[in-house]
Chains A and B, each alone.
Chain A
Amino acid sequence: MKGIAAIAGVGLRQYKRAEAPLPERGVLVRAVVDACEDAGFDPADVDGFATYGDDKNEPVRLMSDLGTKDLSWSSQVFGGGGGGIAAAFGQAVGAIATGQAKAVIVFRALAQGDSGRLSAAVMAHHLNAHMIGAGLVAPAQVCALRAQRMFEHFGVPRGTVEAFVRAANYHGEHNPEAVAYGKPFAEEAYRTARWISEPFRLLDCSRENDGAGALLVVSAERARDLRKPPVHILAVAQGAATGWGDLLENDDDDQYASAGFRAVASRLWARSGLTPKDIDVAQVYENFSAQGVASLIDHGFCDYDDVAEFCRFENLIAPSGRLPINTAGGNLAQGFIHGIGMPVEAVRQLRSESANPVPGAKTCLLAGGPGAPIVSSAIFGTEETLG
């Protein structure tokens, strides 16, 4: 997969929830045009689209606004949550590699006025009478059950999760585009915020924004002729292992408290030829705080034995932590448009455009929505990583 395709442009428009100035499709068109302008690319030449998470915006409906000359390919990753976010980049690479498309926009758009609350939409994908009978109607509750087992049974210290949240907020505090900009992390407020579903308090939960994000993917060769340095898609993996999925809380005992990446992460490392030590910076999708830590464990950065040593605030922040995470603030502190801000930040890091730069970063992991039945991850790299 390495060397086939690269991200050449990014666009991100974020607003407060229910306050987008345009309906969802209008905001999306803005973000797509932003991504094309970033790359110095004519939006009319975009011929493919990929998305995830039950996005309702059919690409064919964007054609009039973009002036699309020829819509030749479009696709969506299965699943209602953010698990498919990285997989959408894998689809784009596949389309480009096989000549089905030449310029693919990977996107996600969300405006409450059009699509309602995200949590309700995600849940509608899974909700059944078993869950309703148990009063289990929101993603926060499902993730809470799994987090509780991670804490209580596997003994993961809660301080690891606080360090993760604090690092994300620290980055958000220093990112002018983040919801947390200029707001230092208030430890006491975090620890005493109202309970949502134990072990989660309010500030453990990503709170959605309106907005849209778009990333332009073209062949590696073509990307070199565009305005910005190419960010190469080195590897992508998606899927689920046996014993993980939509199983009514019957996932295998050794996966239940995880974020679901066991098989996906091992395929990702095998395909890329890289190991966790080779990753300079990571965008780790956190729908809920504990799932971010579970995702780091799944990807092999640490395990239950040394998670406390690894997940310390100093280790997780730019510029010089061992693995700076969510350097724009992540879903918790940058803003949450179903995760699409995270690949945008991955690209900005590798172009030295981040508000919290990691100097010399050559590789960035994008870990998709944890805990979803289908999860996915990707590794992006600078020109140098093609070797």
Chain B
Amino acid sequence: MSTAGELATGAEAPFWQALQDGRLSLQRCAGCGTWHWPAVWRCSACGGWEHAWEDVPMRGEIYTWTRNWHSFGGLEALEKPFVIVVVKLDGADGARLMGILEGDTSDVAIGCKVTGRVGQTLYADRSVPAIRWSRA
């Protein structure tokens, strides 16, 4: 699995391109306006094949979280413990994105408001662009 190959292909390629430019961009059906995440080739709501990619603010609330203590292979560069969050976006019809919560994580809870910035996660010898969230 090569990061470059993975990011350049697939229905979600524009997501990665935007992320590398520091933006969050998500997919919306050009026909009926339905938001799609994960990205699709075909809109199952209207049968359309054309999609637009719209910038979405990196803002939302914590949908769920886990504080990770175990040293799983490949994540040696991340200081433990670290908190993984699933964030429900304010926009994009509430699509959820995964990420790491930075800053103060002591009183993390479902429903906390967060904002994001684009960072990088080192996994083994790969660097993957990823959203870092922090309490709003």
Contacts and interface: CB of A to CB of B under 8 A. Distances in A.
Given A149-B64, A250-B95, A140 B70 contact: yes
Interface in B28-86: 37-38, 63-70, 72-75, 78, 81-82, 84-86
Given A144-B66, A198-B69, 15 more contacts: A120-B73, A132-B126, A133-B128, A133-B129, A134-B100, A135-B84, A135-B121, A136-B84, A138-B70, A141-B66, A144-B68, A145-B64, A152-B110, A198-B67, A250-B95
A218 B6 CA distance: 45
Nearest to B7: A129
B99 interface: yes
Given A141-B66, A195-B67, A195-B69, A130 B110 contact: no
Contacts of A134: 84-85, 98-100, 121, 130
B22 to A, nearest CB: 14
Contacts of B67: 195, 197-198
Closest 7 CB pairs of A and B: A133-B130, A134-B98, A144-B66, A195-B69, A149-B64, A198-B67, A133-B128
Contacts, number: 109
Interface string A194-218: 1111110000000000000000000
B18 to A, nearest CB: 14
Nearest to A120: B73
B109 interface: yes
B96 A248 contact: yes
Given A129-B16, A132-B126, A136-B98, A197 B68 contact: yes
A137 interface: yes
A132 B123 contact: yes
A250 B100 contact: no
A262 interface: no
B69 A248 contact: no
